Structure 1
Amino acid sequence: MLPSISVRTFSSLLPLSLRARTLATHATNLPSTSSKAPSEAEIAAAQTPEGAQEGALRPHLNIPVNPNHGLYAFFRKTEKDGVVSYESLDTPNALSYRSGRSWVAAELRRKSFKDLHTLWYVLLRERNLIASQMEEARRVLGGKIAGTPLSKQAFKCRKSMARIKYVIQERRLAYEGAVKLFAQQQEKQLAKVQGTKAIKEPSGSAEAAGGQPKVDEAQSAANLAASGLFETVSQGAARRA
């Protein structure tokens, strides 16, 4: 009981910084108590472990990063002398050199659905990349990005994507119109067939009714002839007798 009391009283008498040091036994880099602010070089040296390799590594964990990671698509990939680097912000010369025009609807009408689908996601990736660079430029330049090549490129991407949607809408309307026209033609043909059947049924019944008396007349004539023959035969036999 007495040792615990003595430890508590001793710990309460310690200053706050020293108490934090004694409690944080697992910390490797203890906080400094000096009033002088550390420089950037000292901070980088403290954060970089010994024996860390150069490249795409997390310096505080020394874990290699996958070079095909999806987040790299948000940055411009450049390769110089076999070394691949990712730029968060392009230079004005590079932006003016890479700039082009947007896609025209006449060009997009010649593309297949697969090509339009692929082109849509290529433009979407470029638009996300430009959005990342615009945020970086806003941070560096203090928000003055209006009229820059980045905003012009973003407008061209949006214009091309809007024209892709317009071309697909044209194809959808043409398909629906063709389906509607085919249904109307089928209805017309069905009505035509039903009309011809309705015309043939009365004529067939009339022919059947007209053909019945002829058959009866032929049968009656045959009966009369047969009866006359029998009558003559009987009369001749009677005379001979």
Structure 2
Amino acid sequence: MKIALLGYGRMGKEIEKIALQRGHEIVIKSIGEETYDIKKADIAIDFSIPSSAYDNIRNCIDNNVPVVSGTTGWLDKYNDIVDLCNQKKGAFIYASNFSLGVNIFFELNKQLAKMMRTLNQYTVSIEEIHHTKKLDAPSGTAITLAEGIIENSHKKAWELDTKTSEENIPITAVRTPDVPGTHTTTYASEVDAIDIKHTAHNRKGFALGAVIAAEWLQNKTGVFTMRDVLNLG
């Protein structure tokens, strides 16, 4: 594949390494300020910044270039992109986290929420730890975890840096140098606690998952998720 990297920071560089190892070609490396012809690419992988992601994705879909995005912080416009993709018969995957392990973790999180649904003596909370250069808080991965719990419990919403209540899920965001990403869902009672946790050791897992998603998306039409890529449905 000829790949456009939209966003060439640490993740973009890691994706480049993985893509080259898997026999692909990088034809565009955008840092967000230069002009480029997206039509040169067979597919685009967007790991830019929240203020650029929407325009990047829209440009790809308008030009019939399939696009995979892992940028968080722009999702207030997600439904607009879905509508555009369906209208243009494009191809699009968004994931808050492309790590294969994290996407299995998402499914475990949902199953645990179902099991805990009637056990009111337990309170649920989420903690996410990332490097100090991460721009958004909470992480998109933490939000996805919270949404998975909300779908399968009596909880109504998540809140950042607050105490638990009958309706909300508190998320704590911690920023520490050189931490790729650690996420923990905890159910605590007076007598015990249940934790499920995912710890990323480096960015390779995120990069590999993004490239695998791009390979999977080729020659497809529609809006997909990593559940489709990994056949977790």
Please indicate, yes or no, whether the TM-score normalized by the shorter chain is above 0.5: no
Scaled by the length of structure 2, what TM-score is found?
Answer: 0.18
Q: Which has the higher contact order (CA 8 A, sep 6+)?
A: 2
The structure carrying a bigger strand percent of its residues is 2
More helix by share: 1
Larger C-alpha radius of gyration, 1 or 2?
1
Query: What TM-score, normalized to structure 1?
Result: 0.18
